[in-house]
Amino acid sequence: MTKPTLKQWRALFYKDLMDLRWNGQVQFNFIICLLITIVFLWFPRDSLPISFVIGFTFAMVTMFTQGNLVVEEREQGTFRRLNQVGFSLNHMIVGKMFVTLFVTSILVFLFLLFYRFDPTISFNLIILSFPVVLIMILAGTFIGLNAKNTIDVSLYGTPLTLFYLFLEGLLMSHQPGRMEWLALFPNYHLYYGVTSSNVTNHLLVPYLWMTIILLLFLWWFKKRQKRV
């Protein structure tokens, strides 16, 4: 099988972006996250922390965008056509990851633009967000590969979204010295690390989660490929 050319990669990227125009769920989630970001302007920082807005974006946009992009190949019956021109399943998943990352980056960029954060906070936000974004992309890929249609993506992804937002709610009502077990989750370190003067203290847990989930995903994906 011939490997896809750069021109074919660009065509795939463009195709996936155009597919998002007709996906009502992705558009709805994108608009809701944009509105949440704008509304944040009128809220005190203590009432609606930065991590909630960013985490809401990752849970609502990143995971569902990736899941929908993956499952739409099955719904549209285009996987075989792409395979015939040189795109393997691995190629398609990587291509869709870049599209999802692009869409997520737009929202994060707008977020930073709206609030004119200083370079330190912006840097902290980016390095702490990366592992969470990758985890959400892998979760969306896993859901998309196991779903039959976009309705299934919503069905399977909603519990994960609710759990993530539940943790964010606990953090918003969290008081120092109580519920210290929250430090086991990446949310905790995104919550406290964004405005921290020493962000390195908050990097271990998010990147450890990312590494473990990435290894588990690769193990599962290889087993899936052997079965197919």
Split at pLDDT 50, 70, 90, the class of 43 is low
Residue with tokens 């990851």: 97
Q: What is the pTM of this model?
A: 0.88
Distance between CA 21 and CA 33 in Å, rounded? 16
Tokens read off for 75: 């719904």
Residue 87 pLDDT: 78
Residue 33 has pLDDT above 90, yes or no: no
Residue 80 pLDDT: 73
Q: Which of 114-118, 200-204, 209-213 reaches the highest mean pLDDT?
A: 209-213
